[in-house]
Amino acid sequence: MVALALIFTMTLLGVDAGSVAVGLHFSYLHAQVDWFPSPSHKPNEPKNRSRSVAGKARVLFFISPGCGSCPEEAAKLEKELKRLGWRYEMEGIFLGGPPQVGKYLAALQSYPFNFELGVDMDGKVTRHYGVKTFPSAVIEVDGKRAIVTKASELENKLR
């Protein structure tokens, strides 16, 4: 309940509280989860999901509250991206609302990378990308887009 109140208050005020920043943008809740912020860290700036940077993969990692394998698959995905030698930008998309995010925040610390977390409260973003299972990653690189549910699928799907 305390986490929900914190997220709700931060959402209304657009406040940055240390390593967690939350703001309301369009029809989804945007949360910045950065356990080790850098000096260039700019909270409350949503990433543009419309295009990837040339030569750099854009990864949308979709997670849900009941996904027990999400942290493990995230680690495998990061390892595979590094093995392939790709530069990438990662953003998490959480299907659920503020109460679920509050409960899931501790689990986010087990992820092997820092990422911004968009909260897809109504499922529109998830449906837009055609995601049906969790975890799933939508990867865009050099004009190609693929949805993978296992890191081992990555190389074959983007050939």
Q: What is the pLDDT of residue 45?
A: 39
Give the residues across from 16 on adjacent strands: 21
- For the chain, list the domains and their CATH numbers: 2-157 (3.40.30.10)
Q: What is the pLDDT of residues 80-108, one digit of tens each?
A: 989 988 899 999 999 999 888 888 888 88
Residue with tokens 């495998």: 76
Q: What is the pTM of this model?
A: 0.67
Strands 144-148 and 16-17: unpaired
Q: Which residue type, as a one-letter code, is found at position 13? A: L
| Cα–Cα dist 33/31, whole Å | 6
DSSP 79: H
62, 145 Cβ separation under 8 angstroms: no
- Inter-residue contact 155 to 85 (CB < 8 Å): no
Asked if residue 73 has pLDDT above 60, the reply is: yes
Q: Which two structure tokens, joined as six digits, stand for 40?
A: 């260039």
Alpha helices in 15-97 (DSSP H): 70-83
Asked if residue 91 lies in contact with residue 116, where contact means CB atoms within 8 angstroms, the answer is yes
Per-residue model confidence as pLDDT tens digits over 111-138: 887 888 899 999 999 999 999 999 999 9
DSSP state letters, 101-156: HHHHHHHHTTSSS-EEEEEESSSHHHHHTT--SSSEEEEEETTEEEEESSGGGHHH
- Dist CA 26 CA 66 (whole Å): 26
User: Strands 144-148, 87-95: parallel, antiparallel or unpaired by DSSP?
Assistant: unpaired
